[in-house]
Structure 1
Amino acid sequence: MHSKLLDKKYRKNNNLICSENLYKGACVNIKNSNKTFQVIGINLDKKICWVREWPFASNSKKTFALEISKITLQIFCSNQSSE
């Protein structure tokens, strides 16, 4: 089960998280996806972060840039892999 890491008082409109509370290694949900992603880099000046699907496959190194405003929820990362 995933738990929310951010208190509601830190949320922006439409349940989007504030970039000041985001950190490298955090697992997040993003708009228009049911998957979990892990933050691997953050550029607060440009309001973007780089994410990869979580849990990630050892043979896959796909990462992509994402506007921080597309993140809808910060969650605990599960250590279980989907096999």
Structure 2
Amino acid sequence: MIHSKILDNKNENNNLILSEKLYKGACVKIKNSNKTFQVVGINISKKICWVREWPFACNSKKTFALEISQITLQIFCSNNFSE
């Protein structure tokens, strides 16, 4: 089941610092990537989320699971597709 409730994102190793809560629809950066991704689902109990590249192509449905600890930064989702 996909949870859309807000998640407190705390990392015991202090490797991850997010200024806001993680939520479905948030845009994030992840470790080892310069791309922007959008959170499309969250499983709080398993500490994973599903993301897709942002902006996404209308004909593309490529999502993948990711450990929440792999998120490095939450950012604003720009509507400017030239970025």
Q: RCO higher in 1 or 2 (8 Å CA, sep ≥ 6)?
A: 1
Equivalent residue, structure 1, for 2:34:
34
Q: Identity of aligned pairs, percent?
A: 78
Structure having the higher helix fraction is: 1
What residue identity is the alignment partner of 1:15?
Answer: L
CA shift for structure 1 position 81: 1.6
Equivalent residue, structure 1, for 2:5:
none
* 8 Å CA contact retained: 2:16, 2:69: no
Determine helix, strand or coil for the equivalent of 2:78. Answer: coil
CA shift for structure 1 position 82: 3.8
Provide the alpha-carbon RMSD of the alignment.
2.3
Equivalent residue, structure 1, for 2:3:
none
**Ranges in structure 2 where 5+ consecutive residues have no aligned partner:** 1-8
CA shift for structure 1 position 11: 6.1
So what's the TM-score if we normalise by structure 1?
A: 0.78
* 8 Å CA contact retained: 1:16, 1:69: no
**Ranges in structure 1 where 5+ consecutive residues have no aligned partner:** 1-9
